Structure 1
Amino acid sequence: MKLKVVLVGTKGWADAHAKAYQASDSIELVGICGHSNTERLNKLADRYQIATRSLDLAKLLQETSPDIVDIVSSADARLELIKVAVRFPGVKLINIEKPLALTPSEAYEIEELCNTYGKMVLVNHQHKYLPAWRKAQQLLRDGAIGEIEFIRASTKVNIMEQGSHLIDMVMYFNDFSPVRWVMGQTGPYEGKDSSSIVAPDEAMASILFANGVRATIECGAFARSLKGETNPFYHIGVDVYGTEGHLKIALNQSLEVRNYITGEHTIEKSSWEDSYMDALIDYVNSIPGYVANPQAGHICDLAHAMLSYQVIMAIYHTAEYGGKVELPHRFEDSIVERFAVDADR
């Protein structure tokens, strides 16, 4: 029997989620919830022939009794929607888009709510399901470049937008080794990129992992450019250096692996444009297995998402107070709220 899902959101990425559910053999889309735009809600629901639709999430959940609530709304509305979803005993899992939250207190409240009500949570870092990126992680795990020593990662979009994906991928490539400390810096908020999420236009950090691997992160307008890219959202690259070689991957260009010992050198295609929909479908199809066996965990579960979110907050914290911060650490909202003040000026 298929799991039932209610989709919350009506903008572009919600359409991609609806399409993924239509392609799934294990999950059925039974309802769509909008915020205030009835016309956009009806247009999306009609496109996928979903009869049950509403601007009232509680009412929709009562009518449809879903197993999954998929929240593909703006980040500032996420917490209130989760507060509604957790109250329904039949809801087993809540899926949310990145970033996990806009402030530390929101992240902690989401974690506490879902733990209190016994809800599983996934954060949609679907980059892990892109074929080239999955292959890259497997190659690293198999020792294709020896033992990992250093990782360099960059994106030209801000840290709370594509930076959240980038840091998550660094954690994934390093097999989610715990972080010892983070030391970072941020620039002001000036709105240089096209993201709707308020965050510093530039951010950078040095990270030391418990397994001895070091990483540098660059996010925003000053980060390195990938030759040939015109879309700032495609300027995402991760370079991994090991004891025997290196691996370099760019979001929409190539995956390169070179082993200095054997001389082996391969380059293959890495494509967001060709693969993002298949990656999203694979991600969606991974949900039933997690629901059936929560103890097995999931590479996008709340515990993993909190690790990468802690790194982002550590960058904000050290930018404000200097020095470096050891993780885990409980952060206060003021490190983030100062950028919202700049955005309102």
Structure 2
Amino acid sequence: MKLKAVLAGTKGWADAHAKAYQASERIELVGICGHSNTERLKALADRYGIAARTLDLETLLRETNPDIVDIVSSPDARLELVKTAVRFPSVKLINIEKPMALTPSEAYEIEALCKAHGKLALVNHQHKYLPAWHKAQQLLRAGAIGEIEFIRASTKVNIMEQGSHVIDMVMYFNDFSPIAWVMGQTGPYEGKDSSSIVAPDEAMASILFANGVRATVECGAFARSLQGETNPFYHIGVDAYGTEGHLKIALNQTLEVRNYITGEHTVEKSSWDEHHFDALLAYVNSIPEYLANPEGGHICDLAHAMLSFQVIMAIYHTAEYGGKVELPRRFEDGIVERFADKAAR
């Protein structure tokens, strides 16, 4: 029997999520909830033949009794949707698009709500399921470049948008080693970034992991450019340097691995354009396994998502107060709100 899912949100990635559920043999999309745009809700529901459609999530959950609530709304609405979803006994798992929250208090409350009500939660960092990126992680784990010593990662889109993916991927490539400290800096919010999510236009950080690996992260317009890319969202790259070689991967270009000892050098295609839907479908199809064995964890589970969110908040904190921050730590909303205040002027 298929698991049942409902979608909360009708724009952005909602269409891709609906398409993935339609292609899945393990999960059925049984309802869609919009926020205020009835025409967009009708168009999406009609496109995928979904009869249960409403602007009220509580009504939809009562009518459909789903196993999964998939929240693809704008980030500022996610906490309220989680508050509604956790109250329904049928709901076993809540999937949340990244970033999981815009402020520390929202993230902490989402975490607390899910734990208090016994709900599993995932944050959609589907880049881990892109074939070349998954292969890169497997090569690093197998020692293709020896022991990792240093990772450099960058995106030309802001830290709360694509930066959240980049930081999550750095942690994934380093096998989620605990973080010793973070030291970062941010530029002002000027609204020049291509993302609609309010965040500083530039941010950078140095990260020390407990296993000795160091990483630098650059987010925003000042970050390195990948030759040949014209879409800011495609300027995503991660380079890892080890005791025996290096691995370099770009989102929509190539995966390169060179071993200095053996002389082996391979270059293969890395394609977001060709594989982003397959990655999303693989992510969706991983949900039933996680529900069957939650003790086994998931590479996008709430615990992992909170770690990468903590890194972002540590960058904001050190940009405001200086020094470096040891993790874990609780952060206050003021480190983020100053950017939102400026955006509202």
> What band does the TM-score fall into relative to the shorter chain?
over 0.9
| 1:194 shift after superposition | 1.4
Task: State the alpha-carbon separation in 2 of the partners of residues 245 and 327 from structure 1.
Answer: 30
Partners of 1:86 and 1:258 lie apart in 2 by 48
Q: Distance in 2 between matches of 1:22 and 1:344?
A: 39
In 1, the alpha carbon distance for the partners of 2:151 and 2:142 equals: 17
Distance (Å, rounded) in 2 between the aligned partners of 1:91 and 1:226: 42
Equivalent residue, structure 1, for 2:296: 296
Q: Secondary structure at the match of 1:275?
A: helix
Work out whether 1:202 is the aligned partner of 2:202.
Answer: yes
Normalising by structure 1, report the TM-score: 1.00
For 1:225-236, what aligned pairs fall within 5 Å after superposition? 225-236=225-236
Q: CA deviation at 1:317?
A: 0.2
SS of aligned partner of 2:223: coil
Aligned ranges for residues 78-89 of structure 1 at < 5 Å? Answer: 78-89=78-89
What residue is the counterpart of 1:12 in the other structure?
A: 12
Determine the structure 1 residue equivalent to 2:165: 165
Letter in 2 for 1:147: E
Aligned to 1:39: 39
Aligned length: 345
Question: Where does residue 133 of structure 2 map in the other structure?
Answer: 133
Residue segments in structure 2 that go unaligned for 5+ positions in a row: none
What RMSD in Å do the two structures reach over aligned CA positions?
0.4
Mapped to 1, the partners of 2:215 and 2:277 lie a distance apart of 29
Alpha-carbon separation, structure 1, partners of 2:7 and 2:341: 32
Q: Which residue in the other structure is 1:333 paired with?
A: 333
Q: Partner of 1:12: helix, strand, or coil?
A: coil
Output the amino acid matched with 2:75.
A
| Deviations 1:156-189, CA, capped at 9 Å, x for gaps | 0000000000000000000000000000000000
Indicate whether 1:213 and 2:213 are aligned: yes
Helix, strand or coil for the counterpart of 1:111? Answer: helix
In the TM superposition, what are the counterparts of 1:92-171 in structure 2 within 5 Å? 92-171=92-171
Given the two structures, how large is their TM-score scaled by the length of structure 2? 1.00
- Say which SS state the counterpart of residue 275 (structure 2) adopts: helix
- CA deviation digits over 1:120-154, x for unaligned, max 9? 00000000000000000000000000000000000
Equivalent residue number for residue 264 of structure 1: 264
Q: Where in structure 1 do 4 or more consecutive aligned residues deviate above 2 Å?
A: none
Query: Alignment partner of 1:277: what SS?
Result: helix
What residue number does 1:324 align with? 324
One-letter amino acid matched to 2:57: L
The one-letter code sitting in structure 2 at the alignment partner of 1:325 is V
Classify the secondary structure of the residue corresponding to 1:289: helix
Matched residue SS, 1:188: coil
Identical aligned residues as a percent? 85
Deviation of the 1:12 alpha carbon: 3.2
Gaps of at least 5 residues in structure 1 are: none
Tell me by how many angstroms 1:24 deviates.
Answer: 0.3
Letter in 2 for 1:3: L
Once the two structures are TM-superposed, the CA of residue 342 in structure 1 deviates from its matched residue by 1.1
2:182 — aligned with what? 182
Note if 1:274 corresponds to 2:265: no
Measure, in 1, the Cα distance between the counterparts of 2:181 and 2:244: 26
